[in-house]
Copies of this chain bind each other. A is one copy, B any other.
């Protein structure tokens, strides 16, 4: 670090403010947390990588194909998704055969300038320099040299998943998994004797969201897996309970819920039973009897009720709840149809929390044994709704700046807009939330830097003393996540 050649595209003082007083404080604070172990309580890496410990494929398949931040930007500027081999299309035999990793890499390199000012640029520069020892900024000209250097490194033992996990100083890494998943890789890892801690997270969207593809089939499959009759409300709840137990046994400490809104409901058992029956009947192919509007309302109410059911189960089994609401999924119908989920333009929407969360919070929000971590894509809710709610309900905590806001400016706004009302201790530290395993260190690096900058400003403006800021920096870098996620 700091060697003249490297200074070129990744500065050791990156993200620190220019003002020398604040910068000096930020540097001192960052020194305390820079090398702390990484706690990653929420993300989308694959347990299989660590179970099999196979080398990662070529640079294109590693960096471009799975990264929606990257292909979204390329697509917005006219690059064709077919040319990147992305999504379901990329998984067809023809596409796999035609896939030319070097060609995809060159397209990316030619468009690298599009990422100026974005977190993607920061993340990749860190990886290129710190992991692959590259010394010049990526351009169309050095694209091939980059490709070769990265390819060469990926073939070495140091770049196998487990070796990187250790090199990254990861303390715990949570994946995100369906109740229909066998968790075989997590179980294999546990038996393997490897010291890494890769734990699943219970994400039941496929079996609690009536709008999820193949919902009825999924619910039936859940019944088979648990030996419960999931055609009844009672059996369905029992199956979910068993499924959660299975996750817990495999190391899970949390659940996660990705809903279009933050709506919750608190129906009585009779209403809930009727709703379940209606929803399940309507989900059977060929048996839809409800109007589209009625079905949509039922689906929304069912998701809402299921959040409250999950909270009830969390009070029993101790799993921490996470709620990630507010994305309009697959906004681009044509691209969704042709390339599948996570490619078709997920776009945030205005999201209400104050009315939406009330049924659940009024039922369980006063119970400090429950932890419900809420995220948002609607920054206008930070100071207006989320900080006041988290600054009141014992069960509620604020998740960090998420997705489009997982960025230097986004993280800074999160602190500026929540701290004065919710404080630091109603937040839960950082989530890297990534599919890109190699980006985990840089994402935590960015988060720790920005928190240190925010704290440094408070110290420089005499709103906090430096010993307090040091303690806070350490708490934000890991302790709050350990506590909130019960790790």
Contact = CB atoms under 8 A, between A and B. Distances in A.
Interface of A: 8-11, 13-22, 72-73, 75-78, 113-119, 121-122, 137, 328, 331-335, 345-350, 352, 354-355, 358, 361-362, 365-366, 368, 377-380, 383-385, 387-394, 396, 404-405, 407-410, 416-417, 419-426, 457-458, 460-465, 468, 471-472
The interface centre, meaning the residue of A9, A352, A417 with most chain B CB atoms within 10 A of its CB, is A417
B389 A362 contact: no
A382 B326 CA distance: 16
Given A18-B461, A113-B468, A408-B463, A354 B362 contact: no
Contacts of A122: 463
B416 A409 contact: yes
A325 B22 CA distance: 38
A375 to B, nearest CB: 14
B383 A361 contact: no
A54 B12 CA distance: 60
Contacts of A424: 116-117
A393 B76 contact: yes
Contacts of A334: 362, 366
A424 B121 CA distance: 13
Given A345-B392, A347-B392, A114 B425 contact: yes
Given A18-B19, A19-B21, A350-B384, 17 more contacts: A9-B465, A13-B462, A17-B460, A18-B457, A18-B461, A20-B21, A72-B392, A76-B393, A76-B422, A116-B464, A117-B423, A331-B392, A332-B393, A334-B362, A379-B384, A388-B404, A409-B416
Nearest to A406: B420
Nearest to A326: B384
Contacts of A333: 362
Quick one: which of A76, A113, A348, A389 has the most chain B CB within 10 A?
A: A76
A365 to B, nearest CB: 7
B425 A420 contact: no
Contacts of A388: 345-348, 404
A362 B330 CA distance: 11
A394 B460 CA distance: 41
